[in-house]
A = this chain, B = another copy of it.
Amino acid sequence: MDNFTFYSPTYFVFGKGKENETGHYVRRFGGSKVLIHYGGGSVVRSGLLDRVKASLDKEGISYIELGGVKPNPRSGLVYQGIELCKKEGVDFVLAVGGGSTIDSSKAIAMGAVYDGDFWDFYAGRAAAERALPVASVLTIAAAGSEGSDGSVITNEDGMYKRPYGSEVIRPVFAVMNPELTMTLPPYQTASGCTDIMAHVFERYFTNTRNVEITDRFCEAVLKTIIKELPKVLEDPNDYEARANIMWAGTMAHNDICGVGREQDWASHNLEHELSALYDCAHGAGLAVMFPAWMTYVMPHDVNRFAQFAVRVWGCEMDFEHPEETAKEGIARTKAFFHSIGMPTSFAELGAKEEDIPKLLDTLQIDGRTEGFFVKLGRKECEEVYRLACR
C-alpha cells in the first residue's frame, strides 16, 4: 500500500426535504452573501430554486444569482461569475445542480480570490492557494463533485476540457435529497451511473498490490450501482434505489475508493476530448471509452480483470483460462452499459472514426503519456480510440 493522505471534510446532509435546511448550513459555514449558481430551467421549474432561496431568506442571508451552466461547463460563464463575485462582495458560492454546476462554482470560487486568470489553475500554470467556500444542493448522482476536490472546465478558446484538483475547493457541505433526482430522464440517470462506475474503474485498475480494503470498497460501489440502477430505470420514483445510487456516487469520487494506490485516469482524459468535440454526455462518452480501454490493457494484468469479473459481475473463475474470465468481465461491463441505454461505440455516440487525429491533437498527447496502469502514448491512445469504433 502506498502512503496517502485522506481528507474529506464535507458535511453531508442526506435525505428527504433536506434542501429546506440549506440556509442553516450556509450560515453554519460562514456564508453571508451568496452566489447561487445553477444551470437551465429545471431547477426553476421544479420549484427547487425557490425552496433554496426561501431557506436563505429564513436565515437572513442575502444572495445573487447566476444561471446558465451547461453540461461540460464553459470558461465564459466562469469569468462572468468571478466578475460578479468581485463586484458584489460575495463570500460563499452555492451550486444548485449537478457536477457541471458544482465544477463551475468551484472555478468561480477560486477565481474570485485570485488576481490572475483562473485558467492558470487548469492549464497547470499555478496552484490555487485559497477559494471562497463552496457548497451544493445536488440534483444528479454522477460526477461526485459534491464531495471531491476536483473540477473540470472547458475553455471555449479552442474547446480544451481540463481538470483541476485542490483541497481548497472541497465543498464545505452538500445537501443530497434523492427525491430531487426522480425527474431525471432515463438517459441522464444512466449516464450519471456510468460516470460513477467509471470513477471506480479509474481507481480499481492499478499496479499497486495488496490494497484489499480499497478493492473491496470499489467493488461495493460497483455492485450497488449494478443492483440499484435497473430498479430506477424500471421505476424512476424508487426512493431507496435512488438513495443508494446517490450516496454511491459520492463514495465513488471522494477518494475513499482510491487511497493507498496508483490511479489511472487515461479513459477520463480520452473521453474529455469526445465530450469537448461532440458535446455528448460525459457518462455516455465513458461508456464508449471504458470497454475499449479495458480490452486494450487487459493483457497487462489478466488476474486483476479476472478478479473484477468474479467479484463484481459474479462470473465463475475459469482456472484453466483466466483470460477467458477476464474477457467475460469486460463483455459483461459492455453489455450492462448497453442494457441501460448507453452507447458503446463511436457510431452509437455520434462520433466519427475520421476525427481520431483531431481528438489526438486536442489531447496534446505528443511527447507524453496518458494513464498509469498502462502508459499510453499517441499510438496507444489511437488504438484505444480505434477499438472504441467497433
A interface with B by C-beta (< 8 Å): 1-16, 18, 178, 209-213, 216-217, 219-221, 223-224, 227-228, 239-241, 243-244, 247-248, 251, 256, 259-260
Contact = CB atoms under 8 A, between A and B. Distances in A.
Contacts of A244: 1, 210-213
Nearest 4 pairs of A and B residues by beta carbon: A3-B15, A216-B220, A9-B9, A210-B240
Given A221-B213, A224-B213, A5 B1 contact: no
Nearest to A245: B213
Nearest to A227: B212
Nearest to A170: B9
Contact of A6 (B2, B12, B227): B12
A213 B14 contact: no
Contact of A248 (B2, B213, B228, B240): B213
Given A5-B13, A6-B12, A14-B260, A228 B212 contact: yes
Contacts of A216: 219-221, 223-224
22 contacts: A1-B178, A1-B243, A2-B15, A3-B14, A3-B15, A3-B16, A4-B12, A6-B11, A7-B11, A9-B9, A9-B11, A209-B240, A210-B240, A212-B223, A212-B228, A212-B244, A213-B244, A216-B219, A216-B221, A217-B217, A219-B220, A243-B260
A220 B213 contact: yes
A243 B14 CA distance: 31
Contacts of A223: 212, 216
A221 B214 CA distance: 9
A301 B11 CA distance: 33
A7 B10 CA distance: 7
A14 B10 CA distance: 20
Nearest to A216: B220
Contacts of A224: 212-213, 216
Contacts of A4: 12, 14-15
Contacts of A213: 220-221, 224, 244, 247-248, 251
A12 B223 CA distance: 27
A223 B223 CA distance: 15
B248 A14 contact: no
Contacts of A1: 15, 178, 239-240, 243-244, 247
A242 to B, nearest CB: 9
A212 B212 CA distance: 20
A289 B248 CA distance: 33
Contact of A12 (B5, B13, B14, B240): B5
A371 B346 CA distance: 55
Contacts of A18: 3
Nearest to A174: B6
Nearest to A16: B3
A237 to B, nearest CB: 14
Given A14-B260, A213-B220, A247-B260, 5 more contacts: A1-B239, A212-B223, A213-B221, A216-B223, A220-B220
Contacts of A241: 210
Contacts of A251: 213, 217, 256
